[in-house]
Structure 1
Amino acid sequence: MEQLGQETLQHISQMFKVLGDPTRISILYLLKERELSVGNIAKELEMEQSAVSHQLKTLKNMQLVKSRRAGKTVYYSQDDSHVWGLLEQAIEHTLHQNCQP
């Protein structure tokens, strides 16, 4: 098997750093099956809109979420179903580990 290139390694490492934040995981979980506005996300997570916007910017820069404007409102959704697959496996792994005696 060939080695991964430095650029690929850096991107993977950066993605896991972004996914290493509980708030960003919570946002991605909320966006699992629906798109939401910043205000709706902030309400669901009981956070300030500015803090949610900051996290969404980080997720968008890594192409993990995408946005759509409708009038004055911007709606966010997951940009890549592969990322949800990673999160889903991590959730299942964690739940399975917590069920062990």
Structure 2
Amino acid sequence: MTPPCRYFPASRLESEIQVNDGKVRKGGRIDLSACELFSIVQYECQIDRPKIADSPVRCWPVQRWFRRCQDKKGSFMVETTLWERNSKAKSDGGVTTEIIHTHNP
């Protein structure tokens, strides 16, 4: 069973990645914007009328963003989808306030 996920605002992601298992990461402060950026596209689908056979299925793409960062122990990945949106919103003059979650396997 995976451990419980921690929830926090996307605006705190940069400070949250500085800690791993309750301890400060070794090797100095992690600059999240300098970490390598990756993305994947997943699809969210809904069946129009689930109780009717041959009902149309509609799907929408959902792009998710991740950063691969490095500390003294090696590399680690963190999902940054909402953080990336917030960063773009700030550069466009606005700010979004969404909640993200993370867990350590």
The interval holding the TM-score normalised by the smaller chain is under 0.3
| Structure with the higher fraction of residues in strand conformation | 2
TM-score, reference length from structure 2: 0.25
Larger Rg: 2
